[in-house]
Amino acid sequence: MMVRSCWKPIVDGDEGDGSGRVDGLLWYKDLGSHLYGEFSMAVVQANSSLEDRGELESGPLSSNPLGPQGTFIGVYDGHGGSEASQFVIDNLFCNLKRLAAEHQGMSEHVIKRAYAATEESFLSLVKKQWLSKPEIASTGTCCLVGVICNGMIYIANSGDSRVVLGRVERATRETEAIQLSTEHNVNQETVRDELRSKHPFDSQIVVLRQNVWRVKGLIQVSRSIGDAYLKKAEFNRDPLPAKYRLAETFFRPILSCEPSTSSHTLHPDDQFLIFASDGLWEHLTNQEAVNIVNNNPPNGIARRLVKAALREAAKKCEMRLSDLQKIEQGMRRHIHDDITVIVVFLNSRTENTSLCGSPLSIKGGASANS
């Protein structure tokens, strides 16, 4: 297969060379500028159809022209297909801008409302399509969002993607890794306990199989956008493929789309943010990722993080990175997942509300066979 046939990268309003670049199954934008500094972005495909999506939007955060300016970052790690992650990249930011205008500003509440609106629209799409395309009911996506605005960083997460802050500790001058997001993967005991408390009469709400915990034996995340078959019983029946069907019906949603949210005042010692799907964090610790960013130039840093993760994945399989890179999509999934990384550098102007510049929209992660 020719390199270019694997990808249809989507890049709009980009500065510099005007587009992302492709190297085999890797798409990358080595360096660009957002309102508060620089950014670097990379996506690598492992699945036969790329299920990850990632975006960075910088400029107006509201459909009201007098509304807030800032930078929006989204990482959408799809599963069961790319329909849900593609829907989120097409709709979530638009919903956020509309709701920020309605509520006259940015807040955790506005971001939660944007998630709920996107979920509701996607479930409506499932309802329209599922009799002719039943597999759409079993597609979903983790959804990690960051919004930098007015000296604040707002974080929202459904699923097991992660954002880590690199902050200089003044006493030691070391750059410390600080995780800003909360994850919802049932391999964490607290997440299993949360599900059991919500479903006290279901002894099979979480099941351990082959040393991996899964919700109803099917999925590792407890929160997502999509996965209609575990949210509405009307989609958990024929013609849904039998492997997704539960033996007993259910009367309340098993999964939730509601994100865990937080907000933080940015500090002058806050250097950068690393947003990534779990494919990165399976192979690198928070501090290892922060050290890589801290010890290397910004140009190409997202690609460097991806390659560090691939190197670790290859090592676990006792192969060299160069051998792993010869393996085609689909077969690659046995070694690593799709990986999306967006590194966002911060400068001291994050509190300035009167910044102006060309609006930027860059989206990575659309494979030709998705």
Q: Is 251 exposed, middle or buried (0-12, 13-18, 19+ CB in 10 A)?
A: exposed
Q: How far apart are CA 107 and CA 82, in angstroms?
A: 29
pLDDT the model gives residue 349: 59
pLDDT tens, residue by residue, 151-182: 999 999 999 999 999 999 989 999 999 999 99
Beta bridge partners of 68: none
**What is the number of domains present in the chain?**
1
User: Six-digit token pair at 6?
Assistant: 């694997």
Burial class (CB in 10 A: 0-12, 13-18, 19+), 38: middle
pLDDT digits (tens, 9 = 90+) for 24-48: 888 899 999 999 999 999 998 877 7
Q: How many CA atoms lie within 13 A of 298 on its CB side?
A: 16
Residue 3 lies in a domain: no
* Residue 79 resides in a domain: yes
Judged against a pLDDT cut of 80, whether residue 12 lies above it is answered with: no
CB contact at 8 A, 268 and 327 = no
Residue 207 lies in a domain: no
Mean pLDDT (whole number) for 317-344 = 81
Mean pLDDT across 236-245? 93
Reported in sequence order, the residue ranges of the chain that DSSP labels E, i.e. its strands, are: 10-12, 21-23, 26-34, 37-44, 52-60, 69-79, 140-149, 152-158, 162-168, 175-179, 206-209, 212-215, 225-226, 260-265, 270-276, 339-345, 360-364
| pLDDT at res. 321 | 78
User: Would you say residue 341 has pLDDT above 60?
Assistant: yes
- Band (pLDDT 50/70/90 cuts) for residue 75 is very high
**How far is the C-alpha of 47 from the C-alpha of 245, rounded, in Å?**
23
pLDDT at residue 369 in the model: 37
Q: Which distant-in-sequence residues (6+ apart) come within 8 Å of 17 by Cβ?
A: none
Query: Is residue 299 in a domain?
Result: yes
- pLDDT digit string, tens, across residues 132-146: 999 999 999 999 999
Q: What is the CATH number of the domain that holds 110?
A: 3.60.40.10
| Assigned domain for 197 exists | no
Range of lowest pLDDT (81-95, 97-111, 281-295, 343-357): 343-357
In a domain, 76, yes or no: yes
Answer left, alpha or beta for residue 24, where phi above 0 means left and psi between -120 and 50 means alpha. Answer: left
Residue 192 lies in a domain: no
Which structural domain, as residue segments, surrounds residue 177? 23-185+221-364
The tens digit of pLDDT for each residue in 300-316 reads: 999 999 999 999 888 88
Please indicate, yes or no, if residue 87 is contained in any of the structural domains: yes
What tokens appear for 24 in the block? Answer: 């085999």
